[in-house]
Structure 1
Amino acid sequence: MIKLIASDLDGTLIGHDFKFRPRTLAALKSVQDAGVQVVLVTGRPHRWLEAVVEQMDGYNSYAICSNGAVTYHLGRAEVVATHTMSGRDVLRVHELLEQEFPDARFTAETLDTAYLQNAEDTPAQPGGPLENIELVYGPLGEVLPADAQVVKYLMFSGAYQPETLLKKVRDIAGERVSVTHAVPGNPLIEMSLHGMNKGSVLAEFARERGITPDEVVAFGDMPNDTEMLRWAGRGYAMASGAPALIESVERVCPGFDEDGVAQKIEKLLGLSEGFNDIQR
């Protein structure tokens, strides 16, 4: 029996316009009406979700945000759990990366403040990840408090291809922080608490509710979805997603432009009234 559907947002449920396609919205509503919990699992910050979730009629559930660092209840607009790094630990990693990438842009983000280095020309954009948060500009070693609770530490370097940059950063910092990549074609590397990722937090979320991996279906399209899709009993990489993810995950569903998530949910609903299985 399927009790939980967990899904990434960008490139999986929504497009570049941040909109759901009608077929996907209908499928999500049907599965919720049938009593199956839907949880959004995204690299995006929780404050960015309001405009997305208002498209989902009656959604009153959780989102696992910032690659697992923040669990947020959308109906109550409440942060219910965090997995953060101390500013002190971030600065130790930052010292190593700054030596290797002195011209890169760095951001350390807490729940209410973003500290930005080499990014003075990066104002908040409407609807963007820096909207509705205090911005502090300057070298992280000078502006980031040692006791700050950092949910995500990011580095951008246009001098590298994303895959190359990801490998270099993992080689330098992978023993200290979790390192991943979430935006197609964008050399933006995202770092968080070591050992923490979408999959580990989803597993914790499910365990607290008595839900086992074989009762979970998950969808994603980028490397930061890898652990989630591997943990879920049925984890599907989008055919339109990153090749590295597709290669590492057993199952693939049709791409975003084909309403791939909706197709799988429709098959789940059509197989049996009791949700005993999902078509492979």
Structure 2
Amino acid sequence: MTCPRLVATDLDGTALRADGTISPRTAAAFARVENAGGTLVFVTGRPPRWMHSVAGAVHHRGLAICANGALVYDLHTEEIVESHLIAADILEESVQRLRGQVPDLTFSVEYEGGFAHESDFKLGGWDTRTVSGLRVGTSTLTSRPCAKLLAHHPSMNPDELHRRVLAVVGDLVTPTHSSGRALIEMSAYGVTKASALAALAAERGIKPDEVVAFGDMPNDLPMLTWAGTSYAVANAHPDVLAAVDHVTAANNDDGVAQVLEGLF
């Protein structure tokens, strides 16, 4: 393909190495994109509170679409510039339905500026290493709009849990998963990585066929199917490998950088 006008890449499992770092090679490849006049967008399930180290590693270049499309974050200023939130009443109904129909779920929510969780919600690696968030009851958890609702199950297969959650609340919110754990991430109805990326591209007069996208997990599928050219890293989920145009090297082998060095 010709040099793309926009590069969109997932972070964890895709552009970042397994230890969560950006390699010097990948950071240099990202710089090539902006130096050539391209638009660089990180499209991630991460909340903004997990983006400070990324912003520093890329010298505050680019924009980030966070929380699977719910929040747009300016890496230059490290500020949220756009939000698409789950309304409090929808949040409450979603939790009530899931509580009644999928036993053993526990919940947490990502707000625009932090998160809260039920006391028995199992925190993941980043949260146990950084900030544990507020432990609250369900009524408090659902009392105000949020960027993302998360539901964790202690034992179910992630793909099966996603199917169950989709059947129960798919008319209220947009469920997906990305971590390899039995952890479902829910955004406002219709909000995905693709919806946010498409809006951002349209504002800049960029068409889908001028976009190249990289990903590794099911939450990347909307973005990868929307972009004109899509790449999975070799370590990607089987559904992602089956959906993309191309496969590059694994995240630990700088697969995204390898492609960008060829394009720019």
TM range (shorter): over 0.9
Q: Which stretch of structure 1 is more off in the superposition, 187-196 or 112-121?
A: 112-121
Tell me the equivalent position of 1:114: 115
Partner of 1:75, secondary structure, is: coil
Query: Which runs of structure 2 are paired with 1:1-280 in the superposition (5 Å)?
Result: 1-56=3-58, 58-119=59-120, 122=123, 128=127, 131=130, 135-138=134-137, 140=138, 142-146=139-143, 148-184=144-180, 186-269=181-264
Q: Cα 1:134–1:232, aligned 2, differ >3 Å: closer, same or farther?
A: same
Deviations 1:245-270 (A, max 9, x none): 1112232222213321111111112x
Q: Which protein has greater RCO, CA pairs closer than 8 Å, 6+ apart?
A: 2
Q: Which has the higher helix share?
A: 2
Whether the 8 Å contact between 1:70 and 1:83 is mirrored in structure 2 is yes
Q: Which stretch of structure 1 is more off in the superposition, 97-106 or 203-212?
A: 97-106
- In structure 1, what is the Cα distance between the partners aligned to 2:157 and 2:93? 25
Alignment TM-score, normalising by the size of structure 1 = 0.87
Whether the 8 Å contact between 2:43 and 2:193 is mirrored in structure 1 is yes
Aligned length: 262
Q: Which stretch of structure 1 is more off in the superposition, 101-110 or 77-86?
A: 101-110
Structure 1 segments (4+ residues) deviating >4 Å? 129-134
Quote how far apart the aligned CAs of 1:195 are: 0.9
Alignment TM-score, normalising by the size of structure 2 = 0.92
Whether the 8 Å contact between 2:88 and 2:146 is mirrored in structure 1 is yes
- In structure 1, what is the Cα distance between the partners aligned to 2:155 and 2:133? 28
Tell me the equivalent position of 1:272: none
Quote how far apart the aligned CAs of 1:219 are: 0.4
Tell me the equivalent position of 1:278: none
Larger radius of gyration: 1
Identity %: 38
Tell me the equivalent position of 1:273: none
- In structure 2, what is the Cα distance between the partners aligned to 1:179 and 1:116? 18
Runs of 5+ in structure 2 lacking a partner? Answer: none
Quote how far apart the aligned CAs of 1:132 are: 5.6
Tell me the equivalent position of 1:276: none
- In structure 1, what is the Cα distance between the partners aligned to 2:63 and 2:218? 22
Deviations 1:100-144 (A, max 9, x none): 23422201221134232243775x97x538946851422x1x213
Partner of 2:73, secondary structure, is: strand
Deviations 1:128-165 (A, max 9, x none): 38946851422x1x21354x121000001022011111
Q: Which stretch of structure 1 is more off in the superposition, 219-228 or 34-43?
A: 34-43
- In structure 2, what is the Cα distance between the partners aligned to 1:257 and 1:15? 5
Partner of 1:175, secondary structure, is: coil
- In structure 2, what is the Cα distance between the partners aligned to 1:117 and 1:81? 27
Whether the 8 Å contact between 1:24 and 1:261 is mirrored in structure 2 is yes
Deviations 1:181-238 (A, max 9, x none): 1112x11000011111001110000001111111111101000000101111111121
